[in-house]
Amino acid sequence: MTTSSPRTWMTTEILDQAKQILSGMSLEEKVGQMTQYDWGYNPINPETGVSQRDLLVEEIRQGRVGSIFNLAGAEQANELQKLIQENTVSRIPLLIGRDVIHGYKTVFPIPLAQASAWNPDLARRTAEAASRESMADGVAWVFAPMIDISRDPRWGRIAESIGEDPLLTGEYAKAWVEGSQIDDGAGQATASCPKHYAAYGLAEAGRDYNTVDLSDRVLREVILPPFREAVDAGALSIMASFNEVNGIPACANEYLLKTILREEWGFEGIVASDYNALQELITHGVAGSEEEACERSILAGCDMDMHSGFYMRHLPKLVREGRVPESAVDESVLRILAVKIKLGLFEQPYVTVPTEEAAAEARASFIELAREAARESIVLLRNEGKTLPLSKQGASVAVIGPLADNRKDPLGCWAFDGNPEEVVSLLEGIRQAAGAASVHYAEGCSMESDSEEGFEAALEAARQADVVVLALGEALEMSGESRSRTSLGLPGAQRKLVEAVAALGKPVTAVLLSGRPLALPWLQEKADAIVQAWHLGVQSGHAIADVLFGDYNPGGRLPVTFPHNVGQVPIYYYRKKTGRPPGGVYSSYYIDSTTEPLFPFGYGLSYTQFEYSDITADRTSIAADGKLTVSVTVTNIGERVGEEVVQVYLRDEVASVTQPLKKLIGFSKVSIGPNESAALTFKVGMQQLAIIDQHMKLIVEPGDFTLWIGPNSSEGQSITVKVV
């Protein structure tokens, strides 16, 4: 848990200006600022023939809308801002938002892939690039990052997450917020919106929108730390989640929105509901009417209503009846106005469109960054007999599979503004990288069909080749929101295709393009090499080819545990000790499956090998408020430059409350040349050693602590230190 203080951005000048604007506003104008609508939602009333958008334009003209989203385009954004400037007295500009999850027009790897790079600074750069592109289209509010901890690959939105670990997610949360919040002056700034607050990723059965029931301990130890990092990094807003948390939906959850977020953390920004979440309070059964849903949300601390329109329809009446104090409305509006002031929208509400030359130059740099990010996101899971890297010197390659000549699915989920025509397919990437090697292609089968009609063409391509690359996985529609799965296998006839090709006896490399971990233990027997490539965005084909042919040595590591089968789910490394550990009949195990993962958290291979030695601490005991330094030497004993992600784990051996077997407390990604060594040090102090005790207090308890340093959560050398 972090012990730092939030970065304060609401200066006296900003607050005073917001108060001055507020003092001249009517109640309806105030509530309008708390109302956000979906520009893309445009049904036509069959009786009047009037479209929803026409009604929305009129509401904007009257100053009764504070924000819109799903509008993309500078010209349209400027037209709407002009409506306000020319027709309202207060001239409060719109705050235009959009889901900018992993890129805008330049689509980067999905967040789960970027997490595999174990490089938060890379995410900072991709987030900044995405915000710069969206800002040029009038979008000043990006709904990102998604920092829900997820331990369940059935949940489709694990693709948008940073994975299962609080520390890794927290480091990415901080970097993503800092990168996405540009501040280049008036009208040239953006706000981030970390989401979904809170515990959305722990939905029961991995089914999106489902119930979340968890202890306050798990909430505070696992779920909340990344959000605290986002707040401390200066996030200007946070989005409340759809789900209930322990019986109370998040947008009406005073404990989450006021007690923790405002009072404990000092958060100053906007709390926005998720899409239509106020309406869903009625569906949840905690509100019996629109008025009641409106009342519960505003009193719980939800500042902005996304899309339902409940605030605009009912809040003025509730205030006039005395059911909601106007001071609660004023507090929310002050925060909304302050963010708009911070972004410079009052000084410059209009979008400044870059010149064609500047836009082209920026786009070229973003494409280069996309290739860099995609390469770092790739994880090598298996490489028997040094199947990889492939040779460019005359050997022929068969490229087979439904994701080989595919430009759509590598974009991944939540890539609304990406263009499939700009995606480099795996087949194209291999053809450009293959050098003198000839390339044979056959699709083999479609993504989800059980038809084997294309098998013979695939087998013929494989027979003509020395090695085979199989491009397998999921369509982009199979992960993301409302895309939960009960099977973690390859859809359609893909497994049968693998088995048929493998039977030829040629060296086989399986490239997995997916939005989630897949459970494919059988693939270990059929493929000599396995590459987890995820959905990598516009430079997918070039990045994968860079790895396959050895132009880039893979350094990615898994940010999430891979199971053998769905029955093991949820499976994660951060598990607790139990009174009956495996070992004997009456212990915690399965009678039909191993309890061990297929691939552990933090796992990944390289084309070189690393050796760990000289693990030491500068002292064997420290006081509860003391610090120690742990050192390790990592040597590249292979023949090429490689990147290693050095990971530090800790266990509190005896504590007043049960502790995880291991928890990640530090990591460092380092590039080391052949036959060279790197000496790394890690600081260990209160932030790493503290636990939440039985009284829910953050404390460092005396006793023995074991520290591991190694290449993943299942390997490493250890030392013991004592807190006295």
* Cα distance between residue 300 and residue 310, in whole Å: 15
* Cα distance between residue 500 and residue 508, in whole Å: 11
Tell me what the mean pLDDT of segment 418-428 comes to. Answer: 97
Domain boundaries, the chain: 18-342, 379-554, 610-723
Q: Is the peptide bond before 198 cis (omega within 30 degrees of 0)?
A: yes
Pick the catalytic residue: 137, 148, 152, 274? 274
Q: pLDDT digit string (tens) for 471-512?
A: 999 999 999 999 999 999 999 999 999 999 999 999 999 999
Q: Please, how many CA atoms are within 13 Å of residue 259, restricted to the half-sphere of its CB?
A: 8
pLDDT at residue number 1: 39
Q: pLDDT digit string (tens) for 92-141?
A: 999 999 999 999 999 999 999 999 999 999 999 999 999 999 999 999 99
Is the domain covering 610-723 a CATH 3.40.190.10 domain? no
| Of residues 313, 154, 306, the one with CA closest to residue 242 | 306
User: For residue 584, is pLDDT > 90?
Assistant: no
pLDDT at residue number 6: 63
pLDDT at residue number 7: 65
User: For residue 305, is pLDDT > 50?
Assistant: yes
What pTM, to 2 d.p., does this model score?
Answer: 0.97
274 an active-site residue? yes
Tell me what the mean pLDDT of segment 199-221 comes to. Answer: 97
Q: pLDDT digit string (tens) for 442-478?
A: 999 999 999 999 999 999 999 999 999 999 999 999 9
| Of residues 707, 696, 694, the one with CA closest to residue 622 | 707
> Higher pLDDT residue, 707 or 579?
707
- Buried b / exposed e over 703-712, threshold 16 CB at 10 Å, is eebebbbbbb
Give me the phi and psi of 453, to 5 degrees please: -60, -35
* Cα distance between residue 712 and residue 610, in whole Å: 12
Please name the helix (run of DSSP H) or strand (run of DSSP E) that holds residue 337, with its range, or none.
Answer: helix 326-342
pLDDT band per the 50, 70, 90 thresholds, residue 3: very low
* Cα distance between residue 304 and residue 33, in whole Å: 8
| 3 state SS of 548 | helix
| Of residues 419, 351, 321, 393, the one with CA closest to residue 139 | 351
* Cα distance between residue 257 and residue 241, in whole Å: 11
Helix axes 540-548, 356-377, angle to 10 degrees: 40
User: For residue 394, is pLDDT > 90?
Assistant: no
Q: pLDDT digit string (tens) for 234-281?
A: 999 999 999 999 999 999 999 999 999 999 999 999 999 999 999 999
Q: Is the peptide bond before 570 cis (omega within 30 degrees of 0)?
A: yes
User: For residue 392, is pLDDT > 90?
Assistant: yes
Question: Which class for 724: exposed (0-12), middle (13-18), buried (19 or more C-beta within 10 A)?
Answer: exposed
Please give the angle made by the CA atoms of 254, 484 and 444, to the nearest 5 degrees. Answer: 155
User: For residue 2, is pLDDT > 70?
Assistant: no
| Fold (CATH) for 18-342 | TIM Barrel (3.20.20)
* Average pLDDT of every residue of the chain: 96
| Fold (CATH) for 379-554 | Rossmann fold (3.40.50)
Give the list of residues 6+ apart from residue 43 with CB closer than 8 angstroms, or none. Answer: 51, 52
Q: pLDDT digit string (tens) for 64-88?
A: 999 999 997 999 999 999 999 999 9
| 3 state SS of 44 | strand
Task: Assess contact for 197 and 256: CB atoms under 8 A.
Answer: yes
pLDDT at residue number 62: 94
Other CB atoms within 10 Å distance of the CB of residue 61: 15
Largest CA distance in the chain: 82
* Cα distance between residue 429 and residue 703, in whole Å: 55
pLDDT at residue number 170: 98
User: For residue 585, is pLDDT > 90?
Assistant: no
Give the list of residues 6+ apart from residue 719 with CB closer than 8 angstroms, or none. Answer: 615, 616, 617, 630, 706, 707
User: For residue 624, is pLDDT > 90?
Assistant: yes
Task: Assess contact for 194 and 181: CB atoms under 8 A.
Answer: no
Give the list of residues 6+ apart from residue 27 with CB closer than 8 angstroms, or none. Answer: 316, 319, 320, 326, 329
Tell me what the mean pLDDT of segment 295-317 comes to. Answer: 98
| Size of the chain, expressed as the number of residues it contains | 724
Integer angstrom CA distances of residue 215 from 222, 271, 435: 11, 23, 57
* Cα distance between residue 216 and residue 232, in whole Å: 21
Of all residues in the chain, what percent carry a pLDDT higher than 70? 99
* Cα distance between residue 559 and residue 556, in whole Å: 9
* Cα distance between residue 531 and residue 374, in whole Å: 13
